[in-house]
Every structure is written in C-alpha cells, then in structure tokens.
C-alpha cells in the first residue's frame, strides 16, 4: 500500500506529519496526522489513537489540541485519523450530524452508505496495520481516546477489542447513541431500524452486555451545551458503577464542548495514558 506524505514539520524535537493513502476499507482516499517524537534509532514507541468529533478532520486536533509537548515528553506517537470517508462520489447529507464528517466509527450496512462508510474497519484494522508498517510504533502498547463522537468511537472500539488497548479515555463522549438524537439519527441511517444491532456501537450497552475496561478516564465540561440532550455522561457513570468497572469521570466546572476544553486537559490525558503504556 502506497503512503503519500502530504506534509512534515519539525515540532518539539519530533515530526508532525500528514499522510494520505487509498483505503481498502472505505474505497476512498483517506488522510491522517501522525506526531512522532524524537527517539533513539531503532526504538519502538507506544502509540495513542485520537478520534475526532462531528464535522472534524485530522486537522482540528493537530492545530488546536496542543498535544505535541506532552507526547514529546512521554515519548508517545499520536495518530489522528479523519472522521469519515471523503470524495465527490461519497454519499453525503445536508446536515452536519450525518454523512461526511459524521461517520460515527461504524461499519454501515444500509444503502447508500454501506460501500464507503466503514470507519470501524478502518480504525480497528486498516489504519493500525499502516501505522505498524510505516512508523516506529510498538503495537503491543496502544491506547485510544477521542472527543464527542470520537469519544464514542474510542469507548466502543476499546470495549469491543479487549486486551488490544492498554488505556482508554475520552473528552465529552457520546456515551449512549441508543439514547440521544445524534445517535438515533446516525445508527438508523447507517445500521437500520433494528435497535438490537445498535448495541455494539453503544458504550453503555456494551458494558451492560459484559464488555469491560481495566480503567477509564473521562473529562466532561459542565458548561457543555450538548451535555443533557446528547452526551448524557451520567449514563456511563451508572453503567460503570452497576458492574464495578473502574472509571474516573471528572465533571469540569465552566468548560464547554470546544477545543479550549480539550486542550486544557490534553496533557493530563496523555500523562495518564503514558503511565499505562510503559514497557
């Protein structure tokens, strides 16, 4: 598989790059960002996948997430993929919460979405293989985190793949797509009307059905205007408490849903992951 370098820039002693390739999973070109910190020749570094939220691409966290200093300090590669397939022939929707920029990290089964909207396969299978082949990544030391729709993606992907990720965290995640308008719209459109099939894309349902994480870190702003209707963090707290699954869920006074919030707690999350990604 050919990997095209779009750009590379020196930052905090390491390299911030953007790369592009033709994806087998989505049938489109896909772009992603990778920060590789300075490291000894031949060294393999732990890798942390960051999944972005609605309307975003790799560029949002790359430009506003303020993660490079912390990644350089802890010696962690950070990978930031896109949120959906792109291209003129890719189906889209006029609303921001469905279609391009809103792949919801699912493998769609409904037409016309099923051909291209296979972000679950892309994140779980194709992208890790590309990272392993092209970057100095120790794939035995993987972590995953994300924001909003990407927080939903990080939680569900980690819960469905026990043992793959040593660490999982999220900023303001959509914790239960079964119980919010964003999730109901996306899963109906991509997966169909059978709500039983939605459960593998709902973190709370996965926990109720027996999936577990060794621990979990979540930060949620109390001034987030999506908290009550869409995010419903209390449902994740209840699901974890009901099965005694360790989880640190921090409700942050005054913070909203923006990258001002994410960048404030980004270094905390990277340090938390670093503790769990040590050799």
Active-site residue identified among 74, 147, 257, 273: 257
Active-site residue identified among 148, 158, 167, 169: 148
Whether the CB-CB separation of 171 and 262 falls below 8 Å is answered with: yes
User: Hey, CA dihedral for 59, 56, 22, 41, is it positive or negative?
Assistant: positive
Q: Which of 80, 81, 102, 82 is nearest to 91 (CA)?
A: 102
CA distances from 239 to 80, 195, 216, 236, 242 (A): 28, 19, 12, 5, 5
Q: Is 257 a catalytic residue?
A: yes
Q: Which of 212, 268, 220 is nearest to 240 (CA)?
A: 212
How far is Cα 68 from Cα 77, in angstroms, rounded to an integer? 9
Burial class (CB in 10 A: 0-12, 13-18, 19+), 243: exposed
Active-site residue identified among 82, 202, 219, 224: 224
Active-site residues: which are they? 148, 224, 257
């Amino acid at each position: 598989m050919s990997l095209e370098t779009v750009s590379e820039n020196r930052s905090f002693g390491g390299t911030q790059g953007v790369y592009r390739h033709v994806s087998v999973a989505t049938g489109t070109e896909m772009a992603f960002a990778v920060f590789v910190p300075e490291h000894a020749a031949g060294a393999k570094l732990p890798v942390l996948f960051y999944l972005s939220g609605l309307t975003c691409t790799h560029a949002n966290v790359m430009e506003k997430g303020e993660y490079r200093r912390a990644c350089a300090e802890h010696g962690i590669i950070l990978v930031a993929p896109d949120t959906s397939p792109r291209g003129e022939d890719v189906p889209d929707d006029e609303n921001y919460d469905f279609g391009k920029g809103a792949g919801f990290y699912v493998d769609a089964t409904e037409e016309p979405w099923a051909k291209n909207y296979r972000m679950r396969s892309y994140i779980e299978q194709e992208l890790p293989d590309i990272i392993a082949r092209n970057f100095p990544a120790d794939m035995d030391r993987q972590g995953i985190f994300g924001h909003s729709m990407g927080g939903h993606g990080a939680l569900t992907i980690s819960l469905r793949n026990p043992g793959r990720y040593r660490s999982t965290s999220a900023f303001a995640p959509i914790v239960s797509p079964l119980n919010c308008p964003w999730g109901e719209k996306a899963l109906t459109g991509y997966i169909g009307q059978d709500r039983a099939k939605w459960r593998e894309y709902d973190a709370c349902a996965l926990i109720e059905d027996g999936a577990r994480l060794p621990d979990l870190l979540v930060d949620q702003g109390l001034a987030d205007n999506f908290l009550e209707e869409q995010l419903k963090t209390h449902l994740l707290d209840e699901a974890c408490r009901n099965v005694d699954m360790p989880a640190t869920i921090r409700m942050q006074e005054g913070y909203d849903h923006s990258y001002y919030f994410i960048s404030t707690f980004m270094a905390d999350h990277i340090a938390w992951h670093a503790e769990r990604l040590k050799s």
